[in-house]
Structure 1
Amino acid sequence: MPSQKLYAGVKLREIRGRLSLTQKAFADKLGVSLPYLNQMENNHRPVSAGVVLALAQEFGLDVTELTVGESERLVSDMREALADPVFTSGQPPLADLRLAASNAPALARAFLDLHRAYRQTHERLASLDEALGREGASLKPSPWEEVRDFFHYCDNYLDAVDRAAEHFAMPGGNRKDVTILAEDLFHRLGISLHFSDNSGLRRYDPATRRLEVSARASGPTKRFQLLHQVALIAHNDLLEATLDLARFSTPEAREIAKIGLANYFAGAALLPYRAFLQAAKDTRHDLERLADLFGASIEQVAHRLSTLQRPGAKGIPFFFVRVDQAGTITKRHSATRLQFARFGGACPLWNMHRAFETPGQFLRQLAETPDGVRYLCLARDVSKPAGAFLAPVRRYAIGLGCEVQHAAEMVYADGLDLKGRFEPIGISCRICERPTCHQRSVPPLERRLRVNPDRRDVLPYEIAG
């Protein structure tokens, strides 16, 4: 597949602004003329290899900042939105979407907000009259969706929170037992800690300064809940400052986001960045060994691997996803070119869906997306027993994957033929371009159909080219 030209004007302007340099000074340091830099910043020219090299040498820039990030997520989200039947006049070429995401990201986000409002109007017809009848009423994204998009476009990495968690877990630069650190902190603050069978997972009473954590929860869950409370009590100012910058539209979204930030802190403290990144490299990303080394769960380890995007010290770009038994995506993040559908379930050809059939086992898959990018995919069930007879079991499966050029750094690639057959997978059926997929559930909305009642194949229609 031919290499794609790199247009990164918005990112170049962000870097120049971060360095407080004029265009002339920035051009001089990059060894290019002022007009040439101006053309690159306005996406009239691609970023040259010489400029990429100069950015790395002159400023120590992690050049992956130019190629992976918000732009690819915007393109994926716009493609999915434009597949909606409301757009009947044809779909813009992929090149136009990439240009919009690179040149006018604010406009692209505004378009996505508008489409989301339309979807909610369409899906809430039962309450639309009431909503429109109220003075000043407006249809806004649900608090949950707003928070999900906040983390999505932050690349699921929050530097200030991540570093605060690392500092807590590694005082003096040495990793300590986070349970002991949390208990010591609570003792200093006059908070009594109790492990109870009747507290849910966690319950804190600010009036009595009593913290209860489930005695029946697993070790990783107990540690995570203790660290979550550490974030809320000892780092509340940091969480509130981060929420102020995010400017959520409703109090409900802000409160949901605060829980998300505390969860982020807990995961980053349980698996502190530098120590975890080094251990991941040393074990070749063996999830079971990492879980044992850090007292974490398989899911916590897999999720953390997908957040190792600290500038200047990035890990392998992973995607991470969790699905329930109905195939609904309940967690999603991608630092790769693969982006997940915002609505609906994941592609049925992914090995995640088969993980429920083989509990306790890792499934490996070599997969290729319609754009020709190849991935090593890993899947495993992460069912969560409730700890009592007849109590309901929460059943999930997780998927973790990276582009195949990183596969040699994964223990799970051993024994696989990385030059052999790769299974075709997609994002979701309604935007998938594959014409002959045997698992297709609905026709692609971007393509015309041919229907012949006298002929029947796997699908009851043919997808026109």
Structure 2
Amino acid sequence: MAIGKLFIGRKVRDIRQANGATQAQFADMVGISTSYLNQIENNQRPVSASVLLSLAEKFGIDITELSSGQNDRLLSALTEALSDPLFETYSPSLQELKLVTQNAPGFAHALIAAHQAYRRGNEQLASLDDRLGAAPSQEVTPYDEVRDFFHFVDNYIHDLDLAAEQLATELKLGEGENYAALSGHLEAKHGVRVVRGEAGDEAIRRFDPVGRILTVSRYASAPTRDFQIAIQIAQLAAATKIDQVLKQANFRSEEAVEICRMGLYNYFAGALILPYRSFLTAARDLRHDIELLAARFEASLEQVCHRLSTLQRPGLKGVPIFFARIDRAGNITKRHSAARLQFARFGAACPLWNAHQAFETPGRIIRQTAETPDGVRYLCIATQVSKGSAGFRAANPRYALALGCEISYAGAFVYADDLDLSNRGAFDPIGISCRICERIKCTSRAVPPLKRKLVVDHRVRNPMPYEID
């Protein structure tokens, strides 16, 4: 994949300082002049390909880590925040935004948090008609705070991932029946016995710390059952590591801490059932066929799709993948992107995205080639899944799972084999969210773009009831 101009002065400075070198010493090690290094560190000049290769060779730096990752996510979030009419008198260039996210990421995070508070305050004020007397809070909600934590750590927790992988190797998970290995380890190592729940028990998992009994719903599917056992192992075996992660996160409230703790238990469980190296190898060998991966690791499709989006280990990264879980109302209930495609933080997803079509074709995997307004093209796949199987009267929510990659990585996916990736006309024009999408002729638009004026001609009725100036 071609790499455009890279202004990564802060990263280069961090590498130099981590090696305890002055600018002159570091420039000599890289093979460039001190003045050029000074310009690079101050983002006055981009890093050349030769300098990138020198950094990779001399300091073991993964070039893909320098050219993508957290900056893309932070840049997307900052761009969306500044698209609000609140900032209508200020239209920064892309280069300005890149300089901020690369050199002052803390400032960018603070501005995004302030914008979130502003939006929440406006939304609460707008609904005061049925909430008179309630003081609107502009604090970041604990749920949003935790979601942002996982978003900006690339949905990858290194210490937990390594610990889970080591345990998976010891238990030989994936080489036999996972249930026997997981339940046997839980009893032998922690003295906890696994039993099936009673017919009327609605809990998926229930742990009795006194009796040392883990009860798992008798109606849970095998992947769900195994995942719940893995969560219990996480609570007993990874508590110290999880406490360390939570301490470093500096959450504002105890509620956020506990929500994140739950997320970290789930993370460890996913990394245990789908251990990093063996899962990455299988994903490459099976060309990201999610059904074969699910069968190979005795996992669910959702577990597989989610895990694919977390393969961000330094020096051993998988294909940069975006992943989302969407309910029938269009709400994105899970989201992460290691690709340049970043999901909107406010509002629904683009109606032209094939994720919405998955509900029309249950049991099938549907494909789409799509292009976002910035000209980046993607391979998108989506499928519908159902959660729960407790009988006719039980709630069985349905979700669409959506994942994909930039088109330059499409060859790594079995789903791209018979698609014409060279025909740009075959790519559907999609956006991130109507409120920030600049496509002015889209007849599927739900709301006008925030920073554009509308022109209404009462003499003419086009497919859109207004024109975008």
- What TM-score do the two structures reach when normalised by structure 2? 0.93
Tell me which of 458, 462, 465 is aligned to 2:467: 462
Range that drifts further, 394-403 or 188-197 = 188-197
Q: Is residue 64 from structure 1 mapped to residue 64 from structure 2 by the alignment?
A: yes
Deviations 1:72-113 (A, max 9, x none): 112211221122232232432222222211221111111001
Question: Residues 173 and 184 of structure 1: is their aligned pair in 2 closer, same or farther, counting only changes over 3 Å?
Answer: closer
How far the C-alpha of 1:230 sits from its partner, in A, is 0.6
CA contact (8 A) 1:121 1:128 kept: no
Gaps of 5+ in 2: none
Question: Residues 15 and 129 of structure 1: is their aligned pair in 2 closer, same or farther, counting only changes over 3 Å?
Answer: farther
2:236 matched to which residue of 1?
A: 233
Q: How does 1:443-462 map to 2 (within 5 A)?
A: 443-462=448-467
Question: Residues 172 and 23 of structure 1: is their aligned pair in 2 closer, same or farther, counting only changes over 3 Å?
Answer: farther
Tell me which of 354, 378, 381 is aligned to 1:378: 381
Range that drifts further, 33-42 or 345-354 = 33-42
Any idea what SS the aligned residue of 2:85 has?
coil
2:156 matched to which residue of 1?
A: 157
Range that drifts further, 331-340 or 138-147 = 138-147
Distance in 1 between residues matched to 2:114 and 2:298, nearest whole Å:
44
Distance in 1 between residues matched to 2:48 and 2:115, nearest whole Å:
35
How far the C-alpha of 1:380 sits from its partner, in A, is 0.4
1:431 matched to which residue of 2?
A: 436
Distance in 2 between residues matched to 1:173 and 1:388, nearest whole Å:
34
How far the C-alpha of 1:174 sits from its partner, in A, is 7.8
Q: Which amino acid aligns with 2:285?
A: D
Q: How does 1:76-225 map to 2 (within 5 A)?
A: 76-125=76-125, 126=128, 131=135, 139-171=138-170, 176-177=175-176, 178-188=178-188, 189-197=190-198, 198=201, 200-225=203-228
CA contact (8 A) 1:199 1:213 kept: no
Any idea what SS the aligned residue of 1:354 has?
helix
Q: Is residue 258 from structure 1 mapped to residue 257 from structure 2 by the alignment?
A: no
Gaps of 5+ in 1: 133-137
How far the C-alpha of 1:205 sits from its partner, in A, is 2.0
Any idea what SS the aligned residue of 1:301 has?
helix
Q: Is residue 29 from structure 1 mapped to residue 34 from structure 2 by the alignment?
A: no
Distance in 1 between residues matched to 2:441 and 2:456, nearest whole Å:
14
Range that drifts further, 103-112 or 358-367 = 103-112
CA contact (8 A) 1:329 1:344 kept: no
Cα RMSD, aligned residues only: 1.9
Q: Which amino acid aligns with 1:117?
A: A
Q: How does 1:287-306 map to 2 (within 5 A)?
A: 287-306=290-309
How far the C-alpha of 1:172 sits from its partner, in A, is 8.7
- What TM-score do the two structures reach when normalised by structure 1? 0.94
Deviations 1:317-372 (A, max 9, x none): 11001110011111111111110001121110000000000001000000001111
Q: Which amino acid aligns with 2:156?
A: Y
CA contact (8 A) 1:79 1:431 kept: no
Any idea what SS the aligned residue of 2:293 has?
helix
Any idea what SS the aligned residue of 1:180 has?
helix
Q: Which amino acid aligns with 2:24?
A: K
CA contact (8 A) 1:143 1:253 kept: yes
How many residues are matched? Answer: 458
How far the C-alpha of 1:3 sits from its partner, in A, is 6.8
Distance in 1 between residues matched to 2:256 and 2:263, nearest whole Å:
10
CA contact (8 A) 1:327 1:345 kept: yes
